[in-house]
Amino acid sequence: MANLLSKRFPLSSIPDLSGRVAVVTGGSAGLGKYIAMGLALANAKVLIAAAHDELGDQAAEEINNAEGKHGCAQFLPVDLGCLSEVKSLADRINKEERLDLCFWNAGIGVAPYGLTKDGLGNHFQVNHLSHFYLTDRLLPLLRKTAQREDVKRGTVRIVSTSSENHRMARSDVKFESLEEVNGDGDPNRLYSRSKLMNILFTKELVRKVLPSEDQQKGAEQAYGPLGTLLRGTAALLFKSADVGAESSLWAGTAPEVSQGGKDSEFQGAYLTEPRGKVGTETDQAKDEELARKLWTLSEKTLSDKGYPVDM
């Protein structure tokens, strides 16, 4: 039913992305792979940041074997449960001359609790903290790209993958201590809480890092440093991976997102499908104080681990 009713954004609708550079975490399989393929077919250079296994090489090979796409995809292995590897990944990406699109898609699903190499809860670090840190490390390059004369306003974007499962996060979440987010728990609750984190982080990124329209001065600040959007994965049980990826690709590439004064409508918005209705997330996911607490906790955790941030 969802396949029939959902709005569509086929790969043929993606505008030409020649000369643009995109990074897709979790781009070796599932939704991430289709996102990477769609970007490459639109002529972007795609950096596939995914786990250390054969799937990354296979995905890059498959994309590069597509007609006329030889060499446009590169596999960058990374363990998002290891902050030193996340830093190394960012250092590698920062060697690019530009960075136009970030798709934060990788994550642990409804899986058992475990500790990462940094001693943090796996859902907390992989689904949220490592992407928080990666965003911080890549912001200077994103800003530099947005200021290029050949880059259109609003086309440098970050798209984060959340889930309708954020609705199942506990109502008493406070994000006031590492102990709260780092402890054991029911796998579904851990996953749901991490998806809530994705929404809150993206909204706070808009409030804290991206200036509002009336604060922007000069062409170099026409859209802040970048556009930030959030893609939800509603009703994925009824969608194939390629259809599920369409909302991410729409959020990241559709010209209409940044045309006709829609910047404020979609900036930091939670979307479950292309051209979807905004504001459908829970009241908890709209809680600005909760978002600020998560941001503060994330900064402190990274600093305590020896990875201070500048955002």
List 45, 195, 203, 293, catalytic entry: 195
Would you state the pLDDT for residue 172?
Answer: 93
Q: Which residues, in sequence order, are CB contacts of 212 under 8 Å at separation 6+?
A: none
Q: What is the pTM of this model?
A: 0.89
Active site residue 133: no
pLDDT in tens, the chain (311 residues): 234 445 778 888 899 999 999 999 999 999 999 999 999 999 999 999 999 889 999 999 999 988 666 668 999 999 999 999 999 999 999 999 999 999 999 999 999 999 999 999 999 999 999 999 999 999 999 999 999 999 988 899 999 888 888 998 999 999 999 999 998 889 999 999 999 999 999 999 988 886 544 333 332 333 334 444 443 433 333 345 666 688 889 889 988 887 655 556 778 888 888 877 888 899 999 999 999 999 999 999 999 999 999 98
So what's the pLDDT on residue 51?
94
Does residue 191 have an active-site annotation? yes
Q: Is 195 considered catalytic here?
A: yes
Predicted pLDDT at 191: 94
Choice among 34, 45, 133, 191 that is catalytic: 191
The one catalytic residue in 28, 160, 162, 194 is 162
2-304: CATH superfamily:
NAD(P)-binding Rossmann-like Domain (3.40.50.720)
Residue 227's pLDDT is what?
47
Domain boundaries, the chain: 2-304
